[in-house]
């Protein structure tokens, strides 16, 4: 199985899986659970950046992003503000955003990305 590399694998999931030159990251949420969408989004993106580095890649090589927001009416603008400032200029991934209730009530945003390695 040397063609699949798993990172931080527990009983439930791996935090990242690399196969065929693509890194798939698990859905990432904020560690802090601030009630502020901007703070949660910043923390999510910081954690994604660290995970991409572990995979041997970085945000300039993102392929796709799925963004789940708990309150899209209230928080879409705030999430986008932080997201837009974070994206590597000229290297934005594809993106799709939906409103979903997430695993815990205090999670305001969860982001799932893939990147080329």
Residues that bind a copy of itself (CB under 8 A): 1, 3-4, 6, 9-17, 19-22, 24-27, 60-61, 63-66, 68, 72-73, 76, 80, 83-84, 87, 89-103, 105, 110, 112, 114, 116
Distance CA 39, CA 42 (A): 5
Residue 20 Cβ vs a copy of itself, minimum distance, rounded to whole Å:
6
Q: Give the pairing type, strands 22-25 and 14-19.
A: antiparallel
Q: Which helix (H) or strand (E) holds 102?
A: none
Closest separation in Å from C-beta 18 to a copy of itself: 9
Give the helix/strand (H/E) hosting 56: none
Query: β-strand 14-19 against 4-9: which pairing, if any?
Result: antiparallel
Cβ closest to a copy of itself, residue 1 vs residue 35: 1
Write down the least CB distance from residue 115 to a copy of itself, Å. 9
Sign (positive/negative) of CA torsion 54, 55, 61, 62? Answer: negative
Nearest residue (CB) to a copy of itself, 35 versus 98: 98
């Amino acid at each position: 199985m040397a063609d699949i590399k798993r990172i931080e694998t527990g009983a439930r999931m791996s935090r990242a899986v690399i196969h065929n030159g693509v890194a798939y990251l698990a859905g990432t949420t904020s560690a802090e659970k601030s009630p502020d969408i901007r703070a949660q989004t910043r923390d999510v993106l910081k954690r994604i950046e660290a995970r991409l580095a572990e995979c041997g890649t970085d945000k300039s090589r993102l392929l796709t992003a799925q963004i789940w927001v708990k309150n899209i009416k209230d928080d879409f603008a705030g999430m986008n503000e932080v997201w837009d400032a974070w994206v590597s200029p000229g290297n934005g991934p594809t993106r799709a955003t939906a409103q979903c209730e997430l695993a815990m009530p205090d999670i305001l945003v969860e982001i799932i990305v893939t990147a080329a390695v």
